[in-house]
Amino acid sequence: MRRIAIANLKDGMRIAKEIASPTGILLIAAGTEISQFTINRLKSVEVDYVYIHEETDATDTINYNKLKIRYGNLVQKLKYSFRTLRFGRKYIADELDTNIDQLIAELVKSNNLIACLKVIDKKDEGLFFHSANVAVISVLIAKWLNLSDEEIKRIAYGALFHDIGMTKVGDYLVEKAYHSNYRLDSDEEWQIKKHCVYGYQLLSEVYGLSKDVAIIALQHHEAIDGSGYPMKIKSSNIHPFARIVAIADLYDNLISGRGTKAHNYFEALEHILDARFQKVDPALSLLFVKNMVSFYIGNRVSLSNGKVGEVIYIHNNHPTRPVVRTKDSFIDLSESRNIQILDVVV
């Protein structure tokens, strides 16, 4: 199946997942053939996207396997690049460039976000996996922004190398920083914060690399309200690409439990919404969250009240608090604030 915007629906397409109202009333059943009447009805209830059947549904597993292979190849080449750049090489190997192009191509054409998230669903795997995860998420955000191929590639490079400065702070500190069962003391945190400047210095000397890549490494820990580091610059002074990578970095840290307890997808997205206006770009964070949660329509989730249900409706104003249909009831999490989504049931 494929997610598609209402504006791009055509007569003859078929709905893959039923569409319900916030109160659980069935609006359009799965299998319904799209007509102009259907499109008008979807617009009237402010539905932005639907899932449609495709003859290529059987390729979802193939696409996931391709992504997994591209991701694995990228991580291996990234390890080599980090090591050689750390010790003074001034260029990026062609093999890494090829791997980046291949991964971007798979991500841009993929409409299966769940497959993309499964690829990066690794806990406490360290610097290289974190860097690759941030690249995957950053490319998805760039795709949702409809950026050009060249811009997406620069963002991918910046995301992959955003933490390369960590190679200059010492292996022991990196080990502590990238695993959730360790906590840094104040002196260690101060040392770790130097990685932004170290990364900028390393990447600024690499031949043929866009200046944007070095800027991303320098600015990805800056905050909208000026409370970030290393320069404490505010909103308009933070490079747009660094803002994208900052959200991807925060999201991966949250779901990986890096520096905090591991969060499930919805908890992480709620945290990002809470951080807008202070830490991360408000418009980008809302775009990110809305695109992420829309893919969970039709998926089963476990709730803190012990029930398991299906996400059937996403609120525009409360995207991380959907309506869930359980075996015996409908629960609107935007109203039942005491109930939390614990996890996505695969």
Residue 330 pLDDT greater than 60, yes or no: yes
- Taking only the tens place, the pLDDT of each residue in 24-58 is 677 787 778 788 888 888 888 777 778 787 654 44
- Report which of 143, 140, 148, 198 is spatially closest to residue 169, judged by C-alpha positions: 198
pLDDT of residue 70: 86
CA distance 321 to 100: 35
Q: Which has the higher per-residue pLDDT, 317 or 197?
A: 197
Whether omega before 230 lies within 30 degrees of 0, making that bond cis, reads yes
pLDDT of residue 54: 65
SS3 (DSSP) at 326 = strand
Rounded to an integer, the average pLDDT of 214-227 is: 97
Question: For the chain, what percent of residues have pLDDT higher than 70?
Answer: 91
pLDDT of residue 176: 81
User: Are 14 and 38 a contacting pair, CB within 8 Å?
Assistant: no
Other residues' Cβ atoms within 10 Å of the Cβ of residue 73: 16
Q: Which has the higher per-residue pLDDT, 167 or 60?
A: 167
CA dihedral 268, 271, 277, 282 (to 10 degrees): 30
